[in-house]
Amino acid sequence: MTDTRTRTTPTATDPELACPVSPVVDIVFSRWTTPILWTLHTHGRQRFVELERRIARITPKVLTQRLRQLERDGLVVRTYHPEVPPRVEYEISALGRSLAPLFAHLAEWAAENLTKVERARDAYDADDTNGSR
């Protein structure tokens, strides 16, 4: 006989089921993903060193990891050219380009609201009743 209390089936209170955009946020908005996709969308096909120069604060190790994950997710296409020396280029895929309207909406929201967020933060930080920090 199985004890139903120990099953791990998802329920309606499971946060991942409660918020259907959660997996998208995890894919698209993990650290460095947005700058990489933005750079590839804005500047087109790039070699690794070009991406590294355009995204100045990213380390080569992290850039490599993020590019592999984005390729795995189908958002970036990696093209290997068997030359001497070998050449590898990255470009945003059609699936990655389909995120452009989302980024456009976010850029619009940022332009309209980031100053409001900053004012709210300043007001919160200045309020002594919010507890110790």
List CB contacts of 50: < 8 A, sequence separation 6 or more. 43
pLDDT of residue 69: 95
- pLDDT tens digit sequence for 37-77: 999 999 999 999 999 999 989 999 999 999 999 999 999 99
C-alpha 48/C-alpha 76 separation (Å) is 13
Q: What are the tens digits of pLDDT across the range 91-101?
A: 999 999 999 89
pTM of the model: 0.75
Domains and CATH numbers, the chain: 20-97 (1.10.10.10)
